[in-house]
Structure 1
């Protein structure tokens, strides 16, 4: 099994929902340090504090994925305080639920900028550090929205289909430097991302985000010579798939 002791792990969108579940789950790895990165710094710090109360290591990082300087600052912080980054989980995501004819260009751009441009900028920023190490693992959180389409979610679909393609291309480039890249295609979860917008959803058809987080921990447990490039994690009674 791969050595999982002492990893430095950065999770974008770590302040709530799946990001929070990922952060708590990966903090259980021996000696791991979690960097809870989010534009909502107070919420991110609350997650980090909760992990520290459990005797684990975590810090919060204010991160705006739409701002290149914010990402550059995060790279400087990681290099100066930790000297390395072993795992990058690109989890942050947003959506605008509107018909195409009612969606503004600014709304379209906001979804693409966070969901697709953000992971590109993060990978571009941290790949050199991982290449220096000769190791690292980038995990992009995608969605069943990358495999089919439904109404009033055009920007979200475009971003997630694009992210899946970007992840496959990144896999081929990063492995030349010993860096692993994986895509996690997650089905519906009991998180604010869905429930705040669709409070009437049948939660019995959704999964606990901790289940997806445990799958990510499994990805990190593979031997150094093995990578899982893509995995799908669905609620058994998923209504949007197939």
Structure 2
């Protein structure tokens, strides 16, 4: 079902984004990872292509509306279409409210919440032109519960979950699918580089979440999964 689909993955240079690209490439899709770090992008593109897949990277700052529109236009120019958008890019600062700066708050909201809006809005006309398409938003268990020193992250992910469901309602009339994937902790740089003392055995392999992405994309034409949660079996922060 994914053969010859053109799939955009934001934050596609490492971690979950790279795992998604690797997995979907094996189904014959053309993977378009975008990121602000071009070195990471080149690595995953070279890896996918060397294994017989198809991948092409573009530098994108999801928080920059003009840049997003330009990159989407370039993808359409170079590949002729866009079938699937996976909003995965994210940032966080582990700080209390009194320590968090205004710039840090704004950056988290800009990347984690405005970013998916920017990418979805720029992509929507092209998905609409196809007569079908799918937008997948990578949310987080941070949209279901809260912990200390992550107020901006929680605000962005709760907002993203609400945006996903609202867009799902609007998109169905246009035969477009929208899914929110609520992911628990993963063995990715996003967690491991910031919390080096965490036991990786309590986290899930990002390829497990990539498998969930693949699952929602493989649903029959007449069905959509609006929301799904996937968490590690041993994650201690979730009941």
Same fold (TM over 0.5): yes
**Aligned counterparts, 1:203-218, within 5 A:** 203-218=200-215
**Distance (whole Å) between structure 1 residues aligned to residue 115 and residue 179 of structure 2:** 16
Tell me the TM-score normalised to structure 1 length: 0.97
Q: Which residue of 1 aligns with 2:65?
A: 68
What TM-score, normalized by structure 2, do the two folds share?
0.98
- Unmatched 5+ residue regions in structure 1? none
The alignment covers a number of residue pairs equal to: 239
Q: Structure 2 residue aligned with 1:197, among 188, 194, 197?
A: 194
RMSD: 0.7
Partner of 2:2: 4
Which whole-Å CA distance do the structure 1 matches of 2:131 and 2:170 have between them? Answer: 13
Give the whole-Å Cα distance in 2 for the aligned partners of 1:85 and 1:192.
Answer: 28
* Structure 1 contact 36–45 (Cα < 8 Å) conserved: no
Distance in 2, matches of 1:127 and 1:101, equals 38
Alignment correspondent of 2:105: 108
Encode CA deviations 1:128-184: one digit per residue, 9 max, x unaligned. 111111110000000000000000000000000000000000001111111100010
Partner residue in 2 for 1:25: 23
2:41 aligned to 19, 34, 44, which one? Answer: 44
SS of equivalent to 2:98: helix
Runs of 4+ in 1 over 6 A off after TM superposition: none
Q: Indicate conservation of the 8 Å contact 1:186/1:212, yes or no.
A: yes
Deviation at 1:65, TM superposition (A): 1.1
Quick one: distance in 2 between partners of 1:55 and 1:204?
A: 32
Does structure 1 retain, via aligned residues, the 8 Å contact 2:2–2:24? no
Task: Note the 1:1-242 alignment, pairs <5 A.
Answer: 3-30=1-28, 32-242=29-239
Partners of 1:85 and 1:240 lie apart in 2 by 37
Partner-residue secondary structure (3-state), 2:134: strand
Aligned with 1:177: secondary structure? coil
CA distance in 1, matches of 2:168, 2:42: 32
SS in 2 for 1:99: coil
Structure 2 unpaired stretches of 5+: none
| Paired residues of 2:34 and 2:59 also in contact (CA < 8 A) | yes
| Matched residue SS, 1:236 | coil
